[in-house]
Amino acid sequence: MDTEWYDSQENELETENRIKNLMWTISGDYALNTKLDVASFSRSKYISMYDAVKQGAFARFFDKDQFAMYLVKKVFCGAEEGPLMNLAQMCVETAVYPKILPERPGVKEIREKAFEALLDGNFKKLSETLLGQIKLALMRGTLDGKWDCVNKVGGPLSLIRSLEQAADAMKLIETVDQLYNTVIDRNFEKKHGSLRQVLNTSLEDLKEFNWQDFLNEEMYEDVMEQYVSQMANQLTSFDQLEQEPEEKKSSGGGKKIVVLDEEAISKMYGYMELNYGKSYLTEQEQKSVNYRLCRGAHAGCSLYYTDGILTNPVLSNAQYVNAKKHAEKNRLAYRNHQNMIKRSIEYMTDSLRRSLVLRSQKDQILARDGTIIPKYLWKIGRTDPGKLFFRTTRQNSSEFVVDVLMDASGSQRDRQSQVALQAYIISEALSSIQIPHRIMSFCTFWDYTVMQRFREYDAPRLENRKVLEYTTSSNNRDGLAIRAAGDTLCQRPEENKILIVLSDGRPNDMTVNRPNSRNPEPYFGDYAVRDTAFEVRKLRGQGIFVLGVFSGKEKDLPAEKIIFGKDFAYIHRIQNFSRVVSSYLQKLLEQDAEE
């Protein structure tokens, strides 16, 4: 055993226990469980100790969860997390110190020594930004009692110091909001709404958003709650956010912009393999596809084709374990609803088979050649020859091919198992009547749109169960996913090509900004809706039938109508997905038969 490593682990554990005991003593709540800044103890024990004091005092005197939830809502509405958190930390520090000092006089010395250590280590870096200068002025004023400074620093500093008399978390919220809207983004209210509108953001909206990319750690079960917890844990640390992160995260309208350096970009493909499984395309095939399809609104983006991390893993990492766990949940849902699934498959199969029988019936039509109609012989020379003969025609199912494309972004998380079961029902029914079909899902991470294949068009029926590996994560660049699905569908030999798209009517993708390159326009809102609608209309112009199945909120219906026009279906319950698809396919089969 490496004794040096063991000793360091023991020392770190002892340090953490000491700091936690200090926090518990201050708060009076021994159930309080927050992540403390233990790493800074090696530079100065006073930084870690003062962080623990602030955590305990803040939990004791203020509603920590209320304040953290405000910060999450502000980020969702478009605030930049880093600057917002820096302002929040300064406000929290100023508000809690006067409340704990009377009963813990020793905190004064801990605070001063912590500030001295921060100034020694971070002075140059802090002096380079306005927020850093405000933090410098706050710490230096605390140490020497001199509060005079230039207006751009003095105004925000006075507002922060007014919190020395703050009575509740709402006062902190109002002050942080005012500071952000005056120091960081003067147009925030105009673009994203007032404090009242921020606070009125619903929990349902927050849960739909993909918070996973904001987290410091990976693969949480409930990412929104974890992000709230993360925000709460960072509230008291003056030191934590001063280090430059690998990714700078900012938001516009609640949507993320990620700035990556060259090193991070070089590792992106490897990250995709680790988290989504190896691609089934060769490197050259992948380049060719990206060159043809990633243009226009999707220039600079990439497509990533995979059979999933469970089928082609690189190693058994946290993402593999998580995907395995979700697949097992889907299989459990399948076992618990086998009778319902069986009935649904039989219903859809019977409905489609009746339509196919109608198509396969012999149909006699008037023609210019064929079998002469004896009773019309007297019309020779008196009428159009096209009305003297009949011909027998027959159509069959080989003229049809179906693609099912499912949104696999975070917005589908709550109905993941139901989506997987409905896709399985559709696949089983189509297999029963021998219509070739493909089942895929899509989501977007960084600038990669992941196209996960569950079964290929002519795969054996056994492959249908792979759709139970359907999992959700990240964002959704609907326009590029529809373009990619349509590209391979167009290459099929069948005359009638059908694309079924399950979505929530909210195309929403982060923007990846690369150094020394032209940065793309953020993909959300009207811009993303118009782009997705354009891709749908382009496919229809190529003769592909496109049906949009909408499973989102009623307020997003207008966007869905813009995207899919008249060929869309609104399902209030995801359990109706297979029935809607069945009705649409029946309509196409019977319509073509009548014609």
Q: What is the pLDDT of residues 6-15, one digit of tens each?
A: 344 445 455 5
> Would you state the pLDDT for residue 573?
78
More confident residue, 260 or 343: 343
The larger pLDDT score, comparing residue 543 to residue 447, is at 543
Q: Is it the case that residue 359 has pLDDT exceeding 80? A: no
pLDDT at 263: 61
Largest separation between any pair of C-alpha atoms in the chain: 119
State the pLDDT at residue 25.
65
pLDDT, tens digit, 9 for 90 and up, residues 323-343:
898 899 999 999 989 999 999
> What's the pLDDT at 317?
79
Contact yes or no for 441/453 (Cβ under 8 A): no
Per-residue model confidence as pLDDT tens digits over 465-480: 999 999 988 888 999 9
Let me know whether 108 and 176 are in one domain.
yes
Q: Are residues 324 and 178 in the same domain?
A: no
Residue 336 lies in a domain: yes
- Position 243 scores a pLDDT of 38
Based on the domain organization, do 67 and 158 belong to the same domain? yes
* Per-state percent for the chain, helix, strand, coil, to nearest 5: 60, 15, 25
pLDDT at 478: 94
* Distance, CA of 78 to CA of 253 (rounded, Å): 4
At residue 270, does pLDDT exceed 60? yes
Residue 7 included in any domain: no
Q: Does residue 24 belong to any structural domain of this protein?
A: no
C-beta of residue 393 within 8 angstroms of C-beta of residue 370: no
Q: pLDDT tens digit string along 217-237?
A: 443 344 445 555 665 666 656
Q: Are 69 and 119 within one domain?
A: yes
State the pLDDT at residue 132.
86
> Do 158 and 175 have their domain in common?
yes
Helical axes 223-234 vs 81-100, angle rounded to 10°: 50
Task: Choose among 477, 452, 472, 470: nearest CA to 410.
Answer: 472
User: Is the domain of 170 the same as that of 213?
Assistant: yes
Whether residue 18 is contained in a domain is answered as no
Displacement of CA 493 from its chain's centroid (Å): 35
Provide the percentage of residues in the chain whose pLDDT is more than 90: 28
Dihedral sign for Cα 165, 168, 172, 174, please: negative
Q: Is residue 207 part of a domain?
A: yes
503: containing domain = 272-351+397-594
Euclidean distance between CA atoms 458 and 585, whole angstroms: 19
Run of H or E residues at 293: helix 283-293
The tens digit of pLDDT for each residue in 501-540 reads 988 878 887 655 555 555 567 788 888 999 999 999 999 9
Higher pLDDT, residue 205 or 433: 433
Count CA within 13 A, CB hemisphere, residue 89. Answer: 25
pLDDT grade, residue 456 (50/70/90)? very high
Of 393, 412, 445, the residue at which a domain comes to its end is 393
C-alpha closest to that of 236 among 91, 392, 71 = 91
The yes-or-no verdict on residue 316 having pLDDT over 90 is: no
Contact between residue 46 and residue 110 where contact means Cβ atoms under 8 Å apart: yes
Written as six digits, the tokens of 47 are: 């930084």
Mean pLDDT of the chain: 79
Question: pLDDT at residue 1 above 50?
Answer: no
User: Is the pLDDT reported for residue 457 higher than 90?
Assistant: yes
Residue 453 has pLDDT above 70, yes or no: yes
Give the CA dihedral 467, 468, 473, 479, nearest 10 degrees.
20
| 105/234 same-domain check | yes
Across 147-158, average pLDDT: 85
DSSP-based three-state secondary structure for 7: helix
- 367: alpha, beta or left? (left if phi > 0; alpha if psi -120 to 50): beta
Q: Directed axis angle between helix 64-76 and helix 169-179, to 10°?
A: 30
Residues 300 and 438 in one domain: yes
- 454 — pLDDT class (breaks 50, 70, 90): very high
Q: Residue 536 CB: number of other CB atoms within 10 A?
A: 26
Count the domains in the chain: 3
**Residue closest to 553 by CA, chosen among 73, 202, 79:** 202
Identify the pLDDT of residue 269: 85
> Does 115 map to a domain?
yes
Would you tell me how many other CB atoms lie within 10 Å of the CB of residue 82?
15
322 with 188, same domain: the answer is no
Burial 564-589, CB ≥16 within 10 A → b, else e: beeebbbbeebbbbbbbbbebbbebb
In this predicted model, what pLDDT tens digit does every residue of 373-404 receive, in sequence order?
Answer: 666 666 666 666 556 666 665 554 458 999 99
Among residues 393, 411, 443, the one where a domain terminates is 393
Q: What is the mean pLDDT of residues 337-357?
A: 88
Residue 264 placed within a domain = no
387 lies in the same domain as 425: no
Task: Mark whether 63 and 207 lie in a shared domain.
Answer: yes
Q: Which residue has the higher pLDDT, 262 or 480?
A: 480
More confident residue, 266 or 81: 81
Phi, psi dihedral angles at 476 (to 5 degrees): -150, 115
β-pair type (371-372, 389-393): antiparallel
Q: Calculate the CA 236 to chain-centre distance.
A: 28
pLDDT band with cut points at 50, 70 and 90 for residue 559: confident
Backbone dihedral region for residue 347 (phi beyond 0: left; psi -120 to 50: alpha; all else: beta): alpha
Mean pLDDT of the region 253-267: 56
Q: 25-29, 118-122, 180-184, 557-561 — which is least confidently predicted?
A: 25-29
Are 314 and 273 in contact by the 8 Å Cβ rule? The answer is yes
- Say which CATH number the domain at 343 has: 3.40.50.410
* pLDDT value of residue 7: 44
Cβ(511)–Cβ(258) below 8 Å: yes
The answer to whether the CB of 420 falls within 8 A of the CB of 409 is no
pLDDT value at position 245? 35
Instruction: Provide the pLDDT for residue 17.
Output: 58
Whether 443 and 408 have beta carbons less than 8 Å apart is answered as yes
The answer on 299 and 236 residing in a single domain is no
Task: Take residue 42 and report the two structure tokens written for it.
Answer: 């090696």
Six-digit token string for 320: 């593999």
- Residue of 425, 407, 426 whose CA lies nearest to 416: 407
Question: Over pLDDT 70: what percentage of the chain?
Answer: 73
For residue 16, tell me if it sits in a domain.
no
